[in-house]
C-alpha cells in the first residue's frame, strides 16, 4: 500500500514540475500562457468555434474552471466568446493571436517532450502509460460507483 501512495505522490510531483518548467519555457519565449491555458488552446486548435461545455468535457474540468481559463485567454487576446444561436451558449473562437500562437507554443512543448524522452526507453514509457491508465480507470470506476 505504501508503494502505491509513493507512486501517486511521485506522479503528482512530476506533473507539477512538468507544469512549472513548461510555464517557464513559455514565459521565456514571450508568451503569457500557463499550461492549463495552453491545453485549452490545443482544444480550440483541434476544433474552433465550440461551446464551453464541450471544452470542459475534453479537458475533464468543470465549467467554472474553464470559464476562469477562458477569461484569462480572452484578456490576453488569444480567444473570444461569441453569442451562439441559442443565447444560453456562448461559442469560443480563436483570435488571430490565438491561431498564430499554435506553431511556437507547440514547438516549445515538443522540444520539452523530446528532451524528456531521452531519459526513458520506449518500453518504459509504454509501461508507465499503461500503469497510469489502469489507475485512472480504477479511480473513474470508483467515482461512477459513488454517484
Tens digits of per-residue pLDDT, 55-78?
999 999 998 999 999 999 999 999
Q: What is the pLDDT of residue 88?
A: 67
96 contacts 78 by C-beta, under 8 angstroms: no
Q: What is the pLDDT of residue 83?
A: 81
Q: What is the pLDDT of residue 33?
A: 96
CA dist list (Å): 131 to 4, 11, 125, 143: 11, 11, 10, 18
* 58-62, 105-109, 126-130, 142-146, range with the lowest pLDDT: 142-146
Phi-psi region of 68 (alpha: psi -120 to 50; beta: other; left: phi over 0): alpha
Q: What is the pLDDT of residue 1?
A: 73
pTM higher than the cut 0.85 = yes
Q: What is the pLDDT of residue 89?
A: 75
Domains in the chain with CATH codes: 33-97 (1.10.10.10)
> Whole-angstrom Cα distance, residue 12 to residue 19?
11
Structure-block grid coordinates of residue 138: 480504477
Q: Collect contacts of 79-84 with beta carbons under 8 A, ≥24 apart.
A: 79/41, 79/44, 82/49, 84/51
Q: What is the rounded average pLDDT of the residues 79-83?
A: 90
Q: What is the pLDDT of residue 146?
A: 74
Q: Calculate the dihedral angle through the C-alpha atoms of 77, 79, 83, 86, rounding to the nearest 10 degrees.
A: -160
User: Which of 54-58, 59-63, 100-104, 135-139 shows the highest mean pLDDT?
Assistant: 100-104
Across-strand partners of 51? 91
Q: What confidence tens digit (pLDDT) does each residue in 8-66 have?
A: 999 999 999 999 999 999 999 999 999 999 999 999 999 888 888 899 999 999 989 99
Amino acid at each position: 500500500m505504501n508503494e502505491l501512495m509513493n507512486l501517486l505522490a511521485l506522479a503528482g510531483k512530476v506533473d507539477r514540475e512538468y507544469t512549472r518548467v513548461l510555464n517557464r519555457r513559455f514565459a521565456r519565449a514571450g508568451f503569457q500562457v500557463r499550461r492549463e491555458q495552453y491545453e485549452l488552446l490545443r482544444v480550440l486548435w483541434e476544433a474552433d468555434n465550440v461551446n464551453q461545455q464541450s471544452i470542459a468535457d475534453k479537458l475533464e474540468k468543470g465549467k467554472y474552471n474553464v470559464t476562469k481559463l477562458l477569461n484569462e485567454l480572452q484578456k490576453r487576446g488569444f480567444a473570444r466568446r461569441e453569442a451562439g444561436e441559442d443565447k444560453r451558449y456562448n461559442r469560443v473562437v480563436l483570435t488571430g493571436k490565438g491561431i498564430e500562437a499554435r506553431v511556437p507554443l507547440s514547438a516549445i512543448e515538443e522540444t520539452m517532450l523530446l528532451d524528456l524522452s531521452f531519459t526513458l526507453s520506449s518500453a518504459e514509457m509504454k509501461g508507465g502509460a499503461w500503469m497510469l491508465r489502469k489507475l485512472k480507470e480504477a479511480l473513474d470506476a470508483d467515482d461512477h460507483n459513488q454517484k
